Structures are given as C-alpha cells and as structure tokens.
Structure 1
Amino acid sequence: MTSAYDTPVVLDRRDGPYGEVVLRRHGDLLQIIANGCFLMDTSDGRSERLLVDAALGALGPLDGRDRPDVLIGGLGVGFSLAHAAADARWGRITVVERERAVIDWHREGPLSALSAEALADPRTEIVEADLLAHLRETSATYDALCLDIDNGPDWTVTDGNDGLYAPAGLADCARALRPGGVLAVWSAQPSAVFEGTLRNAGFQQVRTEEIPVARGVPDVVHLAVVPG
C-alpha cells in the first residue's frame, strides 16, 4: 500500500534522444517519468484496458472475420499490451515504443512482472521506433490503432509529438488503418478541438468515452473510424 509519506526510489535513469526517462518505485507502485513529467504508474490500468476494449468494440461484430490486428502506440507500464494479449479475439499485436529504456524494463527489468506473458505471446511484436516515423514508413495496415504516448492531444510529452494530433499526423494514422478501422486515443482530459480535427481529417463516428477516476476530471478515450 503506497503512503503519501513514502519516498520515491529511482530504479533507473536514462538519457536518450528524446530526453530523460526515469523508472522509480513509490511504495508498491512503479512509475515512469519522462523529462520530469509523470506519465503513468502501475496503480490501476482501467484507462489502458478501456482503450483496447473501446477500439475492439468500435470495430463491431466480427462475425467470423479474421481476428483484427492492432497497433498499440506506447508500451508504458504494459497494461494495454497485457490486456490485448489476454483477449483471443485480437490477431497480430504490434507495440511501437521509442524509448529503449522502457523496452528494457519490460524485457529484463521490474516491469516484466506485468508483461512477460504478453511478450511471449506469438502474436506480439515490439517495434523500437518513433510512432509518427513508423506510421509514415510502414507498409503494414491494422484494424485498430490504440495510442497512449502522451497525456493527451493537448498535453504532449515532447513538442515533436504535436504532429501526431495534427491533420498530417492523423492522415498517417488513417493510411495505416484498413477501411472501417478504428483510431483510439487516450487523454487525461476531453478535447473538443481534437474531436473537430478528427472530423476535418475525414474520420467518422467521432466520439469520446469517459473513464471515471478517483479525483478530478475523468480520463477519456477519443474514438474515430476510417470510412469503409
């Protein structure tokens, strides 16, 4: 049980091409900090699980179709990957993570307790790359993109991430999605501006699902569908 008086202990600190990334333990929790900005911890995972479930639900009844392929943007503490891998309805599960440190923490560090089984799943592939670069360069297509690399479209971890939520970045997302594919974006708060950008980029069925939290404004998942 984490106490407000526990002192966080730094387990690893790395300097990479995007700045500093830190893994620390605070009581029972593991936390990831990027450039001094709290990203996520192992306290709950409801938001990450809903991100994956909302994307699958937005695809509609599978009705005997091949299992849908999903790209997860951001490995984080591994909740999204673990939840997707625990669901036999998903096909190929590709995780794009730009921080080598985060990948290492999962493969051979403290976060392996959360993700070892999912990483061993033959459907899982980890790609070390910047998400925008991957979307521009890949020839692969997916049925769903589940993106959780920032605190939301209005609160990015690094300035370069802004491009993902702009028209050009959303066009890259659309190109990587098959007809009828779903884009799901986690955010710490709703963004009416981002909803408008999604519609202007040609996405349909744009909506926002709230995720209740213990205190403050609910987290949300922005959902949008590529025309079939």
Structure 2
Amino acid sequence: MRPWELLDTASVPGEGSELRLYRRGDEYSIKSGLVELMNSRVHGSEDALAELACRQLVDHKQSKVLIGGLGMGFTLAAALQNLGAEAELEVAELVPAVVAWNRTLLAEVAGKPLNDKRVSVHEGDVGQLIRSQSSHYDAILLDVDNGPEGLTRKENDALYSPAGLKAAMRALRPGSLLGVWSISPDRGFSERLKRAGFAVEEHRARARGRHGGGRHMIWLGKKGQA
C-alpha cells in the first residue's frame, strides 16, 4: 500500500496544537495528534448535514447560512447545491491554513466551493461570530471538532453549552434552523437543545453516504416563529 505523504502542518490559534495534512494517491486526511479529523473519502454525513437543513429552509433562493468549520469543503459544497443563486453563505474557520489548503492543495477535492460568488470566509472563532449577531441567519450549521464532545479544542465545548445554544437561538431568524454534526449520539445534548427552546429532530447519516460506513449523528433544531 502506498504510504501517506505529509503535505503541510498548521498550528491551531490560541492553543499551539497542530493539524497535519496528508495525501495518499487521491485520498486526503487531516489529523490532530493520532486522531483523524476528516478524510476525503468519508464525507457522506457532512453532505447530509447541509442537505437536511437547506431543504427545510422556506426561502432557498435568498437564505443566509453560516457554516462553522470549513474542513475539506464538503458541507459548504453540499449547501451550495441545495440553495439558490441569491443565497449568502458565510464560512467561519479558525485555522487560516485550512482556508489556504482549500484554495490550493484541497481545492479540487470538494469542487472548489470557495470560488462560488455566494461564499464569504470569516477567519476566526464561529462562536464569537454567532454572539455578534441577532436574528440574522436562516441556518447555522456546526461541523466543529467531533461534535458536542470535542476531541481537539476544549474551547469548542462553549458552542454546545446552554449559553452557546442560547446565542445561536438569538442569531437565528424566526422559523430558522440550527444544524449540528457529531461523530456519535449524545442524549444529553438533545436535551440541552430542547431546553434552549429548539424543536429537535435527530438523524443518523452514513459516513460514506450510499457506500455505507459508520453512522454519524445530525441534530436539527428549529426556532419557533414567534
């Protein structure tokens, strides 16, 4: 078997941990320590996060969508496919190198979604961006770390805390959606969503889409109209 080739490394701002980008043939992997955070052959559940949320938006043409976590661009690419020509998508990515990789080394992996004129990029903490807005987004999609039980950055836990969910509720327009991806189920998080005022749907999605793989968890939390 062909060995993995290390293409680049990047420091995570504020904590000093390192991300490493690897390639083996046409397969790419991003790791933190011994943990593989994402793989270009395993993105079915990331696609499903965007598809499930965007299909429920009342106005697909002019929706404003925030995506927390760029990764390899698959969630963004799926959202673009399910939204209209006048939609606005903002991607918040903490690690500048991940944005650079998506414009260069990883550009072809998800079909160059950053080149779409509907997309803008915020290089910074998605939590700070959420807290700065009020009744602004039609959907917020969080694909950060490995979900509510983060493995790589402790600060990510704040996104999924009661205070973080209340901030997301404030940033959303009436009738809009919060979508959350997780590597595994978490009954406690479902209850936190409900206590924050969301009507909750739980979905399981295959890691490799139609080709199977493990089942990952997706929550959709809907904000009421009033």
TM-score (norm 1): 0.88
How far off its partner does 1:99 sit?
0.4
Q: How does 1:1-228 map to 2 (within 5 A)?
A: 5-17=1-13, 18=15, 19-59=17-57, 61-62=58-59, 67-89=62-84, 91-107=87-103, 109-115=104-110, 117-138=112-133, 141-204=136-199, 206-213=200-207, 214-216=212-214, 218-228=215-225
Gaps of 5+ in 1: none
Structure-2 change in CA distance of 1:157 and 1:140 (3 Å): farther
Gaps of 5+ in 2: none
Partner of 1:173: helix, strand, or coil? helix
How far off its partner does 1:100 sit?
0.6
Structure-2 change in CA distance of 1:160 and 1:154 (3 Å): same
Identity percentage of aligned residues: 36
Q: Tell whether the 8 Å contact from 2:138 to 2:177 is kept in structure 1 after alignment.
A: yes
**Which segment is superposed worse, 117-126 or 67-76?**
117-126
Q: Residue 38 of structure 2 aligns to which amino acid in structure 1?
A: M
Structure-2 change in CA distance of 1:156 and 1:174 (3 Å): farther
Report the aligned-residue RMSD. 2.0
Q: Tell whether the 8 Å contact from 1:21 to 1:101 is kept in structure 2 after alignment.
A: no
Structure-2 change in CA distance of 1:215 and 1:118 (3 Å): closer
Q: Residue 8 of structure 1 aligns to which amino acid in structure 2?
A: W
Q: Residue 186 of structure 2 aligns to which amino acid in structure 1?
A: S
Distance in 2 separating the partners of 1:112 and 1:140 = 33
Distance in 1 separating the partners of 2:151 and 2:140 = 18
TM-score (norm 2): 0.88
How far off its partner does 1:156 sit?
3.6
Q: Residue 73 of structure 1 aligns to which amino acid in structure 2?
A: G
Distance in 2 separating the partners of 1:215 and 1:88 = 27
Aligned pairs, number: 218
Q: Tell whether the 8 Å contact from 2:68 to 2:143 is kept in structure 1 after alignment.
A: yes
Distance in 2 separating the partners of 1:93 and 1:75 = 12
Q: Residue 172 of structure 2 aligns to which amino acid in structure 1?
A: L
Partner of 2:71: helix, strand, or coil? coil
Q: Tell whether the 8 Å contact from 1:86 to 1:118 is kept in structure 2 after alignment.
A: no
How far off its partner does 1:117 sit?
3.9
How far off its partner does 1:57 sit?
2.8
Distance in 1 separating the partners of 2:213 and 2:77 = 26
